[in-house]
Amino acid sequence: MPTLLNIQSSPRGLNSISRSLSHDFVAAWRIEHPDGKVVLRDLAENNLPYVGIPWITGIFLTTDQHTPEMQRALAVSDELIAELLSADEILIGTPMYNFTVPANLKAWIDLIVRPRVTHSGPPDRKGLVTGKTCKIIIASGGTYDEGLPSAASDYESGYLKRVLAFIGITGVEVILVGGTAAVAFGSTTTEEFTAQFRPAVLAAAR
């Protein structure tokens, strides 16, 4: 029974373009995998903590050395990593905020990239999260497609690919859903806008 980990970052609920297309992805994935399980990690629903001293100190100590504060900080990280490790496929639906990932997605990344757990650390620096694929749907007001001068300002897709590769996830496909400003400014509807991207999203779900 394959498991899809569905990570959603947009706080805009039903108005969110990345969530709308992610919904289509999940529906198509369920048809492909009738016995599959979908686990939702909604980053906009509950704020994750930022990594701080208890977490940073705790990751280098053994469990018997952890203070209660470290235990609490590491428990969140443990839960997110367990969720990631038990998935076969990952979907990330996210906006672009200020040319990169929203803070809630960065908080998730900081908690799951962990030496000796998801990557080996030095000297090998090998990713330990292997055998998974990841599809990423990025909604942005502007367009950053390859070949456009604006592509140089997309610090999100390359960053996500890099950090996922660092922990061993190399089978990554990014779908850039650029131009959502047209919906925000009322020159098109969400339905009309998302229709252009649906074929690529459905293909990625197969």
Ligand X SMILES: Cc1cc2nc3c(=O)[nH]c(=O)nc-3n(C[C@H](O)[C@H](O)[C@H](O)COP(=O)(O)O)c2cc1C
Where along the sequence are the contacts to ligand X (CB under 6 A)? 10, 12, 16-19, 95-99, 139-142, 180, 184
Give the contacts of 137 (CB within 8 A, at least 6 positions apart): 18, 21, 22, 25, 91, 92, 93, 94, 175, 177, 201
Q: How far is the CB of 169 from ligand X (least distance, A)?
A: 22
Ligand-binding site membership of 159 (annotated): no
Task: Between 101 and 134, name the residue whose CB sits nearer to ligand X.
Answer: 101
Q: Which two tokens stand for residue 57?
A: 């100190």
Ligand-binding site membership of 70 (annotated): no
Give phi and psi for 48, each to the nearest 5.
Answer: -80, 150
Task: Between 43 and 73, name the residue whose CB sits nearer to ligand X.
Answer: 43
Q: How far is the CB of 171 from ligand X (least distance, A)?
A: 23
Q: Which amino acid is at 146?
A: E
Ligand-binding site membership of 17 (annotated): yes
Express the helix, strand and coil content of the chain in percent, nearest 5 each.
45, 20, 40
Q: How far is the CB of 77 from ligand X (least distance, A)?
A: 26
Q: How far is the CB of 14 from ligand X (least distance, A)?
A: 10
- CA dist 50 and 56 (Å) reads 11
Task: Between 70 and 138, name the residue whose CB sits nearer to ligand X.
Answer: 138
Task: Between 129 and 137, name the residue whose CB sits nearer to ligand X.
Answer: 137
Ligand-binding site membership of 96 (annotated): yes
Cβ of 178: how many Cβ atoms within 10 Å? Answer: 20
Q: How far is the CB of 25 from ligand X (least distance, A)?
A: 13
Ligand-binding site membership of 166 (annotated): no
Task: Could you list the residues known to form a binding site, using ranges.
Answer: 10, 16-18, 96-99
Q: From the annotation, which residues make up the binding site for FMN? A: 10, 16-18, 96-99
